[in-house]
Amino acid sequence: MVYLVPLIIFMDDISGNVSKQWNKHHIIYMLNANLPRQVMEKEFCVCFVTSSPHAAHMELMRAMKQSIAQAAEDGIVAWDCKNEEEVLLIPHGHFVAGDNPMQAEECSHAGLCCNYLCRTCKVGGSKEYKESEVGYNSIFVVGEAHEPESTAAEIRKQFEFTFKPGATSNIKAATASTGISDKTTAKIINTLVELGKKLCKHPLNSPATSEVDIQAAQKKQLEEMLQGTDFDTAINPLLGMDNMNIHLDTPMEILHTILLGVVKYFWAQTVFLLEKGKTLDIFHCRLDSFDKEGLNAPSMNADYICHYKGGLIGKHFKSLTQLMPFVIHDLVPRSVLNAWTLIGELVVLLWHTEIKDTEVYLAKLT
């Protein structure tokens, strides 16, 4: 028997220390998407792949891609303990998990702060356009989908600017007009641009360096940096990964988008209103005396939440979204209370949908 094994690939920055002091490491983990949800997230089912405090994200991803491609080509012989026979496993990437900044980098996208803010489609435009009525409404409509081939072509186009005058402004304009920015090749492009600027500057009474000489020096520098390979091999490896469209296969990560996004900032504004109205003590007492029986939370430490109100994490916000309407019903304006009610409904729907969709998908796989 031959079985396909879909892999969930996770990459992010973590601390390499046991203590709280930050010591950034880049890591990659994998999970088998065929596993039931009940065991998928258990520690013994999460496979550590690689880690490095020095190698860049995409360097690790390039090695990961090559490893999966080689395993898919050769197959992996394993023993099926249920049917008591040898089987052949063919792994392939299913989707890449991570937080929004990391997923933007994996898609060679400039992130949420650029004009074209979506890594999946081409929605967006200039600041003036997005502030207009038509432009603002267009943000909520799905745009033309990004394709890995067109993204790679745009990166090559930006690379060609490095050999022409005005490279910095041209590359910046290209990023602003497309949202495409490949950090994998950024070091190469920046080095060549800086070399061109350096050669253009010449002391007084000395002959100027011709454009041909500048390009020759840049190409020589490029050959040294690529070490015998071509520029295409330096582009984001995930753009050419088999059986994966990286723009579509980086699903939204709810933690940073909702709990540490919308909820976190709305919590900060609510705390501001409570402090301004001198009702934070009342909020503290109500939170401390709240019945936590149905929250599925180990504890709701009101002292901690009110004292470290600016440093809460996801588990605090997940519980607060369900509590807030009952605790602040007469402490804030009606509009704020209504907003918290909607946030509570949103969080419940998102987590319920995530669990339900995953279970339906796994049922189809098995």
CB distance 49 to 64 below 8 Å: yes
Q: Which two tokens stand for residue 287?
A: 């939170």
- Which conformational region is residue 111 in: left (phi greater than 0), alpha (psi within -120 to 50 degrees), or beta? left
Long-range contacts of 160-166 (CB under 8 A, 24+ apart): 162/189, 162/192, 162/193, 162/196, 162/218, 163/192, 163/196, 163/215, 163/218, 163/219, 165/211
Domain-located, residue 344: yes
Residues 324 and 347 in one domain: yes
Domain-located, residue 79: yes
Residues 258 and 340 in one domain: yes
Domain-located, residue 247: no
The pTM assigned to this predicted structure is 0.76
Q: What is the pLDDT of residues 98-152, one digit of tens each?
A: 888 889 999 999 988 889 999 999 999 998 999 999 999 999 998 999 999 999 9
Residue where a domain terminates, one of 211, 240, 269: 240
Domain-located, residue 246: no
Domain-located, residue 354: yes
- Which conformational region is residue 125 in: left (phi greater than 0), alpha (psi within -120 to 50 degrees), or beta? left
Q: How far is CA 145 from the centre of its chain?
A: 18
Report the distance separating Cα 184 and Cα 59, nearest Å.
8
* Structural domains of the chain, count: 3
Domain-located, residue 318: yes
Q: Which domain holds residue 167?
A: 106-240
> Exposed e or buried b for every residue in 265-289, given b needs 16+ CB within 10 A?
ebbeebbeebeeeebbeebbebbee
Q: Would you say the C-alpha torsion 13, 18, 19, 21 has a positive or negative sign? A: negative
Report the distance separating Cα 154 and Cα 101, nearest Å.
20
Q: How far is CA 155 from CA 27, 122, 189, 226, in A?
A: 25, 16, 10, 16
Give the pLDDT means over successive 10-residue stretches in the chain (366 positions): 94 70 80 87 88 88 93 94 94 90 91 89 91 92 93 93 88 91 89 83 59 80 82 90 92 84 92 93 90 70 89 87 90 93 86 52 43
Residues 140 and 236 in one domain: yes
Residues 315 and 212 in one domain: no
Residues 10 and 54 in one domain: yes
Q: What is the pLDDT of residues 27-73, one digit of tens each?
A: 999 999 998 878 887 888 899 999 888 888 889 999 999 999 999 99
Residue where a domain terminates, one of 209, 240, 271: 240
Residues 230 and 110 in one domain: yes
Residues 93 and 116 in one domain: no
- Predicted local distance difference test score (pLDDT) of residue 204: 46
First-to-last C-alpha distance (Å) of the chain: 15
CB distance 75 to 69 below 8 Å: no
Residues 145 and 84 in one domain: no
Residues contacting 181, CB < 8 A, separation 6+: 108, 109, 110, 114, 175
- Predicted local distance difference test score (pLDDT) of residue 207: 59
What angle separates helix 314-327 from helix 334-365, to the nearest 10 degrees? 130
In degrees rounded to 5, what are phi and psi of residue 163?
A: -95, 10
Residues 307 and 340 in one domain: yes
Report the distance separating Cα 110 and Cα 338, nearest Å.
34
CB distance 284 to 302 below 8 Å: yes
Residues 139 and 85 in one domain: no
- Amino acid present at 194: E
Report the distance separating Cα 359 and Cα 26, nearest Å.
30
Residues 83 and 134 in one domain: no
Domain-located, residue 284: yes
- Predicted local distance difference test score (pLDDT) of residue 209: 65
Q: Which two tokens stand for residue 212?
A: 């041909």
Q: In terms of Cα–Cα distance, which of 106, 121, 143, 91 is closest to 26?
A: 106
CB distance 243 to 92 below 8 Å: yes
Give the DSSP letter string of 190-219: HHHHHHHHHHH---TTSPPPPHHHHHHHHH
Domain-located, residue 248: no
CA angle 194, 199, 202 (to 5 degrees): 130
CA angle 339, 343, 347 (to 5 degrees): 175
Residue where a domain terminates, one of 74, 97, 120: 97
- Predicted local distance difference test score (pLDDT) of residue 354: 52
Residues 63 and 134 in one domain: no
Report the distance separating Cα 309 and Cα 77, nearest Å.
53
